[in-house]
A and B are shown apart, each in its own frame.
Chain A
Amino acid sequence: MSFGDLLEVSVGPHHPSTHGVFRMRVTLDGETVVRLKPVFGYLHRNHEKIAESISYLGSMPFTDRLDYMNAMSNNWAYALAVEKLTGQSVPERAEYVRIILAELTRLLNHVCLAGFLLQDMGASGTPLMYAFREREKILDLFESLSGSRMMCNFQRFGGCRQDLSADWLREAGRLIDRFGPFLDEFELLLAGNEIVLARTQGVGVLPRALAISAGATGPVLRASGVAYDLRQADGYGLYPRFPFRVPYGTHGDTYDRYRVRVLEMRESLGILRQALATLPEGPVLDPKARLRGLRPKAGEAYGRIEGPKGEIGFYLVSDGGPNPYRYRVRPPSLINLTALEDMCLGHTLADAVVILGSIDIVLGEVDR
């Protein structure tokens, strides 16, 4: 192979297959990828530095905009970090509410991802629109609860902003009952499709050892055969009360990453049914919780949860002032993205697009 035959292509940042403003500098030998360098930073908003100049509460709506598909989980991770810093306790009902909302978020993230992934493979529109139809029902629930479809700004330090009404719980129960049949139909749509199988099986393999050493988390790690889920490994919130299985793959290819997410959605439905059935009464916000004027004692805290994309964590250092001294986000998509080149080498450019889709990135979180 002589270097004269190589072709360097810049894919993105304005390309629909890059899920936002992501750019890949791909070096091609014919159609085969021999080098791939991710370029990002086009959506940098200086989130971490801004957070150091505003109050603890002020960063909450900005966390919605990190992974803008999953505002509820981001809120929870940030609230958890601040609660660890201040030693604030959370009422039992609020913990249940957080679990219900986080699992609904997982459903909407994974169903969208499945739609986007199939769209990347050329199934134009149809699966994505079915996925969006279901996602919209979950977003309607979020809107009637928090006032906004996607930018929920819902969790507070010491609980949640709003209680779940009986109507809301009834609607959520109906949605959960209908989601199972929808998943069955959605899987029939393309899971047995010969083209999908040929495009995904054995493509973009992430070996188990590499997944661990790259620090991958979430479905990307589990598809590579590591049954590591923070909900069980860390047991934050009240998750130890809910028995559920952690699905994991064996091959670490694109197909496994897709399958793991579908199975996770089914487990999430199980958690949601348990949580709705055993939801305790009580307040959703600790009476001692303070909205403003928060001045945690000097110290540091790291709050992390199993977000739909992996471990989302917030690291806070306080010097006793009203603003965090240091504020750092551990975004799952950025760290999962670091293994992209290894997954893509030796595959065609069209496969690289599918592999990128299967990692599930959101650029709001990658660039911050």
Chain B
Amino acid sequence: MKGLLQGLRITARNLVGSFRDPERLTTVAYPEQKLALPPQFRSFPFLVAGSAEDPIGSLRCVACLICQKECPPACIHIERSTDKKPDAAGKPQFYPAQFDIDFSVCMNCGICAEVCPFDAIRMGQDYEIATEERALALTWNRAQLTRAVP
């Protein structure tokens, strides 16, 4: 009986404590309240573009296919262009004619961003991309994936 009452005393202390001690109250009322994300946080990859006016034209990706080969669940699909376009330095480079990532397969590991030698793909922080459709709505194409980074 003594041990039982002891436990109830601890429970009562936690219950009362949760009203005044932030150490004992750790939940927030999502989605009204959201916690700040740490800068390291990674969710889904995006493609880095140089300018906001012409994001597709200023993609850093040169379609080297390294991320496609290294992606563990193989969710990246790239079609390399047949022609070359000048990059930011003016050197002619291939570019991805098609670049799709299936986010229903992506497991947010960040290996694509890690292995990219051109820093052309990075991990974003969006985590609210839920849709009602399973496959097609979560396969993002080049335009959806591109984000201008100043």
- Among the listed B3, B107, B114, which residue makes an inter-chain contact with A192, where contact means beta carbons less than 8 Å apart? B3
**Stretch in contact with the other chain, from B4-12, B51-59, B95-103:** B4-12
Asked if A193 contacts B7 (CB within 8 A), the reply is yes
Q: Which of B76-113 contact A (CB under 8 A)?
A: 107-111
B interface footprint on A8-19 (CB within 8 Å = 1, 0 otherwise): 000000000000
Q: Which partner residue on chain B sits nearest A156 by CB separation?
A: B114
- Among the listed A62, A151, A192, which residue makes an inter-chain contact with B6, where contact means beta carbons less than 8 Å apart? A192
Asked if B115 contacts A148 (CB within 8 A), the reply is no
Asked if A189 contacts B10 (CB within 8 A), the reply is yes
Asked if A62 contacts B72 (CB within 8 A), the reply is yes
B89 to nearest A CB, angstroms? Answer: 25
A interface footprint on B1-34 (CB within 8 Å = 1, 0 otherwise): 1111011001100100000000110100000000
Asked if A148 contacts B111 (CB within 8 A), the reply is no
- Residue among A58, A60, A130 with most chain B CB within 10 A: A58
**Stretch in contact with the other chain, from B38-46, B133-141, B142-150:** B38-46
- Residue among A130, A178, A185, A189 with most chain B CB within 10 A: A189
Asked if A147 contacts B41 (CB within 8 A), the reply is yes
Asked if B11 contacts A189 (CB within 8 A), the reply is yes
Q: List 6 A-B contacts (CB under 8 A).
A: A60-B109, A147-B42, A151-B109, A193-B3, A194-B3, A292-B70
Asked if A136 contacts B111 (CB within 8 A), the reply is no
* Interface positions of B (Cβ within 8 A of A): 1-4, 6-7, 10-11, 14, 23-24, 26, 38, 40-42, 66, 70-72, 107-111, 114-115, 123
- Chain B residues lying within 8 Å of A147, measured Cβ to Cβ, are 38, 40-42, 110, 123
The size bracket of the interface on A is 35 or more
- Residue among A126, A136, A161, A197 with most chain B CB within 10 A: A126
Asked if A58 contacts B10 (CB within 8 A), the reply is no
Asked if B4 contacts A193 (CB within 8 A), the reply is yes
- Answer whether A130 and B14 are a contact pair too, CB < 8 Å, given A143-B40, A151-B108, A189-B7: yes
- Chain A residues lying within 8 Å of B14, measured Cβ to Cβ, are 130
Asked if B111 contacts A153 (CB within 8 A), the reply is yes
Interface: A233 (CB within 8 A): no
Interface: A348 (CB within 8 A): no
Q: In the complex, A76 Cα to B42 Cα: how many Å? A: 21
Interface: A188 (CB within 8 A): yes
